Structure 1
C-alpha cells in the first residue's frame, strides 16, 4: 500500500512539475476535510502523512487546561496525564481518530480537495515560469477554436490567442503551426493563463532577431517598431559599428532576410528606417519613400513638427488614409503635420496679410487719455490706421484737439507702427510685391513722371536734394503741372504764326 501511494505522489510530481511536499500537503488537507465532513465536530483536526507506512493519520488536537470550558478544544490535566505523564498546562495533546470509518462521500470530498490543490500548484508554476517570458516568441500548434478565439498548445500548457490580438489578414486551421509573442500571464483564472498576440510590435522585433544575425549579436539595434497588422510596419534600426549598414543588413541579399519576415506576417509591407538622434532627420527617414524638402520644429516641448514636401510628394508622404504619416508619427514619438511648399507659402502670406490689414484699437496708443479717445471716436475714428491716413492737419480740425495734442497723437500712432517683424521660415521665398516702396522710390517715380526720363536707383533728381519731404515733392509736382498748363496757349499762338 505504501509503495502505491508513494509511487503515485512521485508520478504526479514529475508529470505536473510539482514539488512532492505540495502533493503531500494536499493529501493531508483532503483527509482533514473528509474527517470534518464525517465527524461533524468542532474539534481542531490535523493530519500527518507517514511515508514509511503510506498512511495518513487523523488527530483531534486539544489544549491542556486546569478547568475545561470547551470540551471540543480543551482537556483537563488529569485526562492528559493518563495519555502522557509528561504533559503540563498549556501543552497540546493529539488524540487519534480512526480513518477506516470514513465513507464514500468523505472519500469523494478528499479527491476534490486533492485535485484542487494540485491544480492550484500547477497554475502557480505556470505563472512563475511564463511571467518571466513576457515579450518572448513562442511556437505552438492550433489546438481548437472557442468562438473567435484560438486555443494554442505551447507545450507545457494551453494558451489563448484572442480575437483582438489576431491579424485581420490571417486565418488558421486546426493543427497548423503558429508563432506569437507572450503579452500577458494571468495569475489565477479559469481557462488558459498565457495570452498570446500576433499584433504586438514585439513580434516584429523577435522575428528580426531570429532572421538577422547582426541584431541577435548586438551589432544592429532595433530602436522602435510600429505596425498596423496586416497592412504596413515601420522598424527603426541603428548600427553600433559604423562599417555596417543597418538597413542593408536587415534587407539582405536581394531581400532574402526581409522576405522571410514578410512571409511570416502574411504579406505585410515593412519599411526599414535608419534611426537618428536628430528629430528632423529621423522624421525625414521615417516618411520614406516620400522625399522631404524641409522639417520645421514647431514646439519641442509638445513634440510637434511640420514637414514641407513638394506638391507631387504630399500624397506619398501622407499615405493611403494617412497611414504613412500616422506610422511615422508613432515611430518617432512626434506629432507630424505634412504640408506642401505651396500650402506653406499661402500660410505665410495669410499671416502677413492679417498683420497688415488688421485694425489696431485706439486703446493701444500710449500716453493718450480716455477723454481724447472718446473725442476721436465721436469724430468717426475707430482705429490707429485711420489716424495715420488722416494726418496731423486733419486731426487739428477735430473740436477739442489742438496743435500740441494732434502732434502727440500722431507721435503715439507712429511709435506703434515703427517696426513690424515677421518671422519667415527658412527656405520659404516671399513675393517681392509684399515689400512696400520706400519714400525715395515714390519721389523718384514722381520725378520720372514729370521729366519723362528714367533716373538711376541711387541718383537724386538735380533739383531735389536728399531728405526732401514727401509734401515738398507733391507741391513741386503740382507747380510743374500748373506751369505747363500756363505756357500751353503761348506755344499754340507761335505755331499759328
Structure 2
C-alpha cells in the first residue's frame, strides 16, 4: 500500500506537471487536517510522510514562549516546561510531540486528502501557468477559439484559456468557434479565482511581432522597427532602419515580390501597411511619415506641447490629411507630435496679416525661406533729395560743394531709371 501511494504521487506529479514535493506537502496537510477532525482537538497537528516507506506519522506542535507570556496552552508552551523536553530550547522555537494515529483515520483521511489535494493541485497549476505566461508577455501565441461571450473571445491556448476582449480586437475581424487564431499576450493577471491571460490583436506591437516572424533581418537585429502607429483594421505605419548599409530596410520588410509584407497583411485581414525609412532628423521623419504627400516645410510651433506645423501645396492638402484625417493622425502618432497642416497660400496670408498688424513695420515675406525679412530702403527719390537721388548730408551747404556732381558724372554713375519707373529694389520677393 505504501509503495502504491508513492507511485500514485509520482503519477499525479507527471500528469499535472507538478513537482512531487508539492503533491506530498498537499497529502501531509490533508492527513493533519483529518487527524484534527477525528480527535476533535483544537491543537495544531502536522503530518510527515516517509519518502522511503510511504508511512505517515502525526504530531502536535507548540510554540515556546516566556513563562509570563503563556496564553493558550493548546498551541503554546512555557519556556520552563519546554526545557524539560529539550535543554537548548529558546522562545520562538517550535516543538513537535508525536501522537498515535487514530484507528479510524483511513476513511476520513482519504476524503480529506482528496479535497485538499485537489485544491493544492489547482493552486500549483495556477502558479505554474502564471509563471510560464508571465514570462511570455509581449510574444505571439497560437490558439483555438473555444467560445464567444458578450463579444469577448475565449481562446484555448493549451494548458489554460485566454481572453481576447472587444477593446483588443481589430475592427472588422470576425471569428467563429474552432477558428485558429494568433494574438499577442499583453497581460497576465493573478487572482483568487484563477489566472487571466489577456490577448490583443489591435496593438501596434502585434504588427511588430508579425514582422519579426516573417523577416529574418528583423529577428536577428540587422533591421529594426523604430516606431509604429496603428489604427487596427485599417492602416499601420512603421518606420524602419538598417544597421547594415548593404541591407535595404524597406526592401527586407517587403520581401521578394512582396511576399513578406503580404503574409503580415493576410494575418491582419487586409489591413494596409506603410513602411517608411526612419530619419534621425525630426522634420525629415515627419516628411517621410506623410508620404506620398509632398511637404514644403515643417516647423516646430510649441516645443512643450509638442506641436508642429506642416506646410504643403494647395493640391496636396487632401492627400496629406488622408481619408477621415487618418494619414495626418497616424503620422503624428508615429513621430509623437501633434501635426497641424496648412496650405502655402494660407500660411502666406497669415504672415501678411501679421505684417499688417505691426505698427510702422517694413517687412516682406520670403517664399524661399518661409520667413519675414526686413525690406531694403527704397531708392525712389524723396522730398529734399537732390536730382540724382542723393540726400545732402546734415550741415553741408552749397558753399562747400557737398553732394554736387557734374551732369556727365550723374549720367554715368547714377544710372537713373527712365521717367515714370522706380529703380529696382534688391532682395524684394514677389508676394
- Interval of TM-score (by shorter of Structure 1 and Structure 2): 0.7 to 0.9
Secondary structure of the residue that 1:134 maps to in structure 2? coil
For 1:17, the equivalent position in structure 2 comes to: 17
1:299 deviation in Å?
3.5
Task: Please tell me whether the aligned partners of residues 126 and 195 of structure 2 are also in contact (alpha carbons under 8 angstroms).
Answer: no
1:325 deviation in Å?
0.9
For 2:369, the equivalent position in structure 1 comes to: 427
Q: Following the alignment from structure 2 to structure 1, what is the Cα–Cα distance between the partners of residues 259 and 71?
A: 85
Deviations, residues 254-280 of structure 1 (Å, cap 9, x unaligned):
322111111100011110011010001
Say whether 1:177 aligns with 2:102.
no
1:35 deviation in Å?
2.8
1:329 deviation in Å?
0.8
Q: Following the alignment from structure 2 to structure 1, what is the Cα–Cα distance between the partners of residues 367 and 240?
A: 31
Mapping for residues 335-346 of structure 1, pairs under 5 Å: 335-346=338-349
Task: Please tell me whether the aligned partners of residues 365 and 371 of structure 2 are also in contact (alpha carbons under 8 angstroms).
Answer: no
Q: Which of 214, 235, 240 matches 2:238?
A: 235
For 1:32, the equivalent position in structure 2 comes to: 32
Mapping for residues 312-323 of structure 1, pairs under 5 Å: 312-323=315-326
For 1:132, the equivalent position in structure 2 comes to: 135
Higher alpha-carbon deviation: 1-10 or 317-326: 1-10
Q: In the comparison of the two structures, how many residue pairs are matched?
A: 387
Secondary structure of the residue that 2:132 maps to in structure 1? helix
Say whether 1:466 aligns with 2:408.
no
1:198 deviation in Å?
0.5
Secondary structure of the residue that 2:357 maps to in structure 1? helix
Q: Following the alignment from structure 1 to structure 2, what is the Cα–Cα distance between the partners of residues 66 and 313?
A: 88
1:223 deviation in Å?
0.7
1:175 deviation in Å?
1.4
Mapping for residues 32-111 of structure 1, pairs under 5 Å: 32-62=32-62, 72-73=74-75, 92-102=95-105, 107-111=110-114
For 1:145, the equivalent position in structure 2 comes to: 148
Task: Please tell me whether the aligned partners of residues 130 and 195 of structure 2 are also in contact (alpha carbons under 8 angstroms).
Answer: no
For 2:415, the equivalent position in structure 1 comes to: none
1:435 deviation in Å?
6.2
Task: Please tell me whether the aligned partners of residues 332 and 339 of structure 2 are also in contact (alpha carbons under 8 angstroms).
Answer: yes
The two structures have a TM-score, normalised by structure 1, of 0.69
Secondary structure of the residue that 2:387 maps to in structure 1? coil
Structure 2 segments unaligned to the other structure (5+ residues) = 395-431
For 2:250, the equivalent position in structure 1 comes to: 247
Task: Tell me which protein shows more helix as a share of its residues.
Answer: 1
Q: Following the alignment from structure 1 to structure 2, what is the Cα–Cα distance between the partners of residues 284 and 66?
A: 79
Change (3 A) 1:177 1:350: same
1:426 deviation in Å?
5.2
Change (3 A) 1:300 1:92: closer
Change (3 A) 1:95 1:286: same
1:420 deviation in Å?
6.6
Q: Following the alignment from structure 2 to structure 1, what is the Cα–Cα distance between the partners of residues 6 and 50?
A: 10
Deviations, residues 325-380 of structure 1 (Å, cap 9, x unaligned):
11111111122111111111111112112224xxxxxxxxxxxxxxxxxxxxxxxx
1:306 deviation in Å?
1.2
Structure 1 segments unaligned to the other structure (5+ residues) = 357-416, 445-458, 470-497
For 1:121, the equivalent position in structure 2 comes to: 124
Q: Following the alignment from structure 2 to structure 1, what is the Cα–Cα distance between the partners of residues 108 and 191?
A: 28
Q: Following the alignment from structure 2 to structure 1, what is the Cα–Cα distance between the partners of residues 250 and 390?
A: 69
